[in-house]
Amino acid sequence: MKTILPPHLKPSQKVEDPATILEEAREICKGTQNGSFVTPGSKYNNCFAMAQPQVSNKPLRYFVINPITASQVAKDFSGLVVINPRILEKDKSSKVMSLEGCMSYPFRPEKKVKRYAKIKVTYSVIEDLKNPKVVHVESREIKDFTAFVCLHELEHLDGKSIFTN
Ligand SMILES: [Zn+2]
């Protein structure tokens, strides 16, 4: 079983063929729900989402949403596995403070971060890991908590985090 790795700063590679990540995405999805990635003694027992680079030495550009604790986020993205996400627009007037913790820093307290509360993103998504079908989303506006989750995970995909920015 994988565990959360010490944060590494490698930028992740684009996912060329979503079929190649299915098995790993299923494992990460389970891990978001059953605590199998949690560092013993961690402040954080579960997560809203997990970026693949947090658990892999071969970082790829995707993150997986916890369908239980972040069901609204999954609804907003229309799926559980968000692949090759990219920001198209940021609403500069929407900056707010977000209090966030990170599974990659299991012993550090939550930190206040400035976030855009309204962004437009493009990505591909796997709706359901049992019957995987990849859908491309050309442009979607996401807001508030869903935007914060997306921005937090995007940082992991870029080899950054709330504690290293
Ligand atoms: Zn994190």
CB atoms within 10 A of CB 115: 22
CA of 149 relative to ligand 1 center, distance in Å: 9
CA of 146 relative to ligand 1 center, distance in Å: 14
The closest of 16, 160, 37, 35 to 83, measured between CA atoms, is 16
What is the predicted pLDDT for the residue at 27? 94
CA of 101 relative to ligand 1 center, distance in Å: 7
Residue ranges per domain, the chain? 18-157
Topology of the domain covering 18-157? Peptide Deformylase (3.90.45)
> What is the helix (H) or strand (E) element at residue 99, kind and residue range?
strand 95-100
Cα separations (Å) of 31 from 12, 49, 60, 64, 85?
Answer: 20, 10, 17, 10, 21
What is the predicted pLDDT for the residue at 5? 80
What is the predicted pLDDT for the residue at 44? 87
Q: What is the pLDDT along the chain (165 residues), one digit of tens a residue?
A: 567 887 777 889 999 999 999 999 999 999 999 888 888 888 887 799 999 999 998 999 999 999 999 999 999 999 999 999 999 999 999 999 999 999 999 999 999 999 999 999 999 999 989 989 999 999 999 999 999 999 999 999 999 999 987
